[in-house]
A and B are shown apart, each in its own frame.
Chain A
């Protein structure tokens, strides 16, 4: 990408240039070789539009190609580049260095996820909890058997759940959740928000089975509405809202 290759340490800022420099600290950890992580520091030039991901890729290109980082779309659609940036879970491609208001940017792997290497983490637990809540429409019939061509849904019915369908499974919410810092069995805000996405979908008939799944000692009741999941969600899913609405079904406020 031309933008990344133009931002190099060799570039000499001119009088009109807006190029600045930050200290990028990257957590390095190889579980097969290291006992604990250590930080490597790099001086990286950046413009006001430069993202953290671009800075990391710049380091990979010009300083240390062995930095392990997961990324793909670079536009906050795939959810691959989630990491701790200055202590808070964020998408690296969606976080501009200029908005961090700091001369030092520290990137670490997302907590509450096992580390593969450096900034790349394992997502098995997120996939398992997501799978547990039956993330698909549950019906007795199918579109093939129904008299109608498709299951009709009004715009109002769509508005009830479309927000929660925006989830890109980046895992930032699970990383931010205070319960997940200690509870290995907690389902997590991502799965609970997706459970609500399907419960709220007018086409779905699996509400009771999903509510049974999450009504356990490490299910929805271990959420305490700290709201950190919603604070970090890059797509506006607002998992905390979905979870409280879901809880309303179990408490009898909703039917």
Chain B
């Protein structure tokens, strides 16, 4: 993938996640911070399909943005064909792993498996 395409994705995920993360944080302030973190409240959030979709989107957007940022930093620290390939693929694998793990939580909780 061309670097310009990767960076457009980096910028796009950043802009898209700003609003979604803001909503996610504001949800903690609707019923009082401590109450919003109670087991029942959190479970109710996970049962709401729009909220689940938002969580999934945040997970994907931030994982892509974060691990691409890490990839950029690591590529600048050291160079070499093998190292660069390892960093790039490693970040993609970590990204997929995190998305997978987070999606597991979201889907299983939404389906009532908690």
User: B-contacting residues of A (Cβ < 8 Å)?
Assistant: 179, 182-186, 215-219, 221-222, 250-251
Chain B contact residues (Cβ within 8 angstroms of A): what range?
Answer: 10 to 19
Kindly list chain B residues whose C-beta atoms are within 8 Å of the C-beta of A185.
79
Q: Decide if A218 touches B4 in the complex (CB within 8 Å).
A: no
Q: For residue B5, which residue of chain A has the nearest CB? A: A215
- Where chain B touches its partner, the secondary structure class is helix
- Minimum C-beta distance from A187 to chain B (A): 12
Kindly list chain B residues whose C-beta atoms are within 8 Å of the C-beta of A217.
3, 75, 84
Q: Decide if A222 touches B76 in the complex (CB within 8 Å).
A: yes
5 A-B pairs with the lowest CB-CB distances in the bound complex, closest first: A183-B76, A250-B4, A185-B79, A215-B4, A221-B3
Kindly list chain A residues whose C-beta atoms are within 8 Å of the C-beta of B11.
251
Q: Decide if B8 touches A215 in the complex (CB within 8 Å).
A: no
Q: For residue B76, which residue of chain A has the nearest CB? A: A183
Q: Decide if A186 touches B76 in the complex (CB within 8 Å).
A: yes
Interface string of B75-114 (1 = CB under 8 A from A): 1111100001000000000000000000000000000000
Number of A-B contacts (CB under 8 A): 34
Give bound CA distance, A250 to B4, whole Å.
7
Give bound CA distance, A216 to B72, whole Å.
12
Partner of A183, one of B2, B3, B7, B79: B79
Partner of B79, one of A184, A216, A219, A250: A184
Give bound CA distance, A217 to B1, whole Å.
10
Q: For residue B75, which residue of chain A has the nearest CB? A: A217
Partner of A216, one of B3, B8, B76, B77: B3
- Where chain A touches its partner, the secondary structure class is loop
Give bound CA distance, A222 to B8, whole Å.
14
Q: Decide if B4 touches A182 in the complex (CB within 8 Å).
A: no
Give B37-96 interface residues, CB cut-off 8 Å to A.
72, 75-79, 84
Give bound CA distance, A185 to B79, whole Å.
7
Give bound CA distance, A179 to B78, whole Å.
11
Partner of A221, one of B7, B78, B79: B7
Give bound CA distance, A232 to B41, whole Å.
55
Give bound CA distance, A251 to B4, whole Å.
7
Give bound CA distance, A7 to B72, whole Å.
51
Q: For residue A249, which residue of chain B has the nearest CB? A: B4
Q: Find the residue from A217, A219, A250 having the highest chain B CB count within 10 A.
A: A217
Q: For residue A211, which residue of chain B has the nearest CB? A: B4
Q: Decide if A222 touches B79 in the complex (CB within 8 Å).
A: no
Interface string of B1-19 (1 = CB under 8 A from A): 0111011100100000000
12 intermolecular pairs with C-beta atoms under 8 Å apart: A179-B76, A182-B78, A183-B75, A183-B77, A183-B79, A184-B79, A185-B79, A186-B76, A215-B4, A217-B3, A222-B72, A251-B8
Q: Find the residue from A216, A221, A251 having the highest chain B CB count within 10 A.
A: A221
Kindly list chain A residues whose C-beta atoms are within 8 Å of the C-beta of B79.
183-185, 218
